[in-house]
A = this chain, B = another copy of it.
Amino acid sequence: MSDARPVRRQERGLRRINEILDAALGLFAEVGFEATSTNAIATRAGISPGSLYQFFANKEAIAEALSVRLVEALREAHASAFGMASVADMPLGDLLDRMLDPLIAFRVANPGAKALFNNPAMPAGLAAATRPLQEAVVGRVASVLAARSPSLPAADRQRSALVGVQIVAAVMPSIVAAEGAERAALITELKKAMYGYFAPLDSPAEHR
């Protein structure tokens, strides 16, 4: 109802935006989305509360921007992992390695991402802000599934992708929290679970 006028950002402003996003990501990692106050974000970013609101309309908008930044980063991580290789022809085990390893590396490197990813107890505002992220991830998995199992009905495919993503999301916090050998063991368990779930759905060429 008021000004929809877009602001012409200068370089300084773009830098600030990134600093704010970094601060928010760190705080989300440490105390979660709800418990992170906008004043705390501003303080960690080294600016005043007023300045923060020069760049973001509200707290939810920060989560949204963060979500966009994460989709982008994840897209790149996966793109480099897949390269030109066709997703349809790979053995399932290799495919899981190629999809999960970058994702795990990403989550280990960005513990704050946890707050943004699909998890069952997401506060209302956050859920709205990260819906595109969730959909991007589930859609990505569904399209891989479509390539490998063209005979699977679309609804089943979508549901399987969702469940697969939820399983990964469920185990990921333990993986990120663990270290060394225990982390490796948990990663193995996750892959076993994913393999056990997807192998029966997979293209006949794959399993025995």
Contact = CB atoms under 8 A, between A and B. Distances in A.
Interface residues of A, number: 38
A166 interface: yes
A34 B174 contact: no
Contacts of A33: 121
Interface in A144-179: 156, 159-160, 162-163, 166-167, 169-174
Interface of A: 31-35, 114-115, 119-124, 156, 159-160, 162-163, 166-167, 169-174, 182, 185-186, 189-190, 192-193, 195-197, 199-200
A169 B167 contact: no
A170 B197 CA distance: 14
Contact of A166 (B114, B123, B160, B174): B174
A185 B159 contact: yes
Contact of A114 (B121, B159, B172, B200): B121
Given A120-B114, A162-B174, A174-B162, A197 B192 contact: yes
A120 B172 contact: yes
Given A121-B114, A163-B171, A190-B163, A34 B31 contact: no
A133 to B, nearest CB: 14
A193 B186 contact: no
A173 B120 contact: yes
